[in-house]
Amino acid sequence: MIKWSSELELGYPEIDIHHRVFLKTINKFLQELDGGIDDLKENLENLLYFLTDYVETHFSEEEAIQKKINYSAYAEHKQTHQKLRDELEGLKRKYWELVHDSSDLFLLKLFISNLKEDLINRWIKHTKNEDQLIFLNYDEDAI
């Protein structure tokens, strides 16, 4: 269970809601890891669909806002988003190639623990570190 904290709160409601939904979805997934292999795969696939949608909607909205407020590190931030997007695509490929048709529960659990370590923790760190900088100094009239 990953707790919401003030480190994650940016003070920009539209974006904070996205981050809260992200955390809620991740936590719901992490709480349902005890089921059988089929349930686990179904939950995991739903999570992968959610993340795919999230990178499209959330990342692009966040980038659009940065552009609007003339955020100085916009290009760098966009690049980081692209990296996170690519990592998700890599994990998805791995899932469909190696895990989806396998009946090896250990392999599935290993994939999930990698997903948590490599991707989810990194995305949370991105919010705490890089996203947090976006709204430190900005001209409110620009929005």
Q: Applying CB under 5 A, which residues contact Fe ion? A: 62, 131
Distance in Å, CB of 43 to Fe ion, minimum: 23
The tokens for 45 are: 């696939």
Residue 118 and residue 135 in contact, taking contact as beta carbons nearer than 8 Å: no
CA dist., res. 139 & res. 41, Å (int): 45
Question: What's the min distance (Å) between Cβ of 92 and Fe ion?
Answer: 20
As given in the structure block, the two tokens for residue 103 are 């009946």
Nearer to Fe ion (CB atom), residue 79 or residue 114:
79
Q: Which is nearer to Fe ion, 29 or 62 (CB)?
A: 62
User: Shortest distance, CB of residue 130 to Fe ion, whole angstroms?
Assistant: 6
- Distance (Å, rounded) from C-alpha 117 to C-alpha 134? 25
Between CA 4 and CA 27 the distance in angstroms is 11
Report the residue closest to Fe ion, judged by CB: 131
Cα 74 to the chain's mean position, in Å?
19
Q: How far is the CB of 54 from Fe ion (least distance, A)?
A: 9
Whichever of 31 and 60 has its CB closer to Fe ion, that residue is 60
Q: Closer CB to Fe ion, residue 41 or residue 58?
A: 58
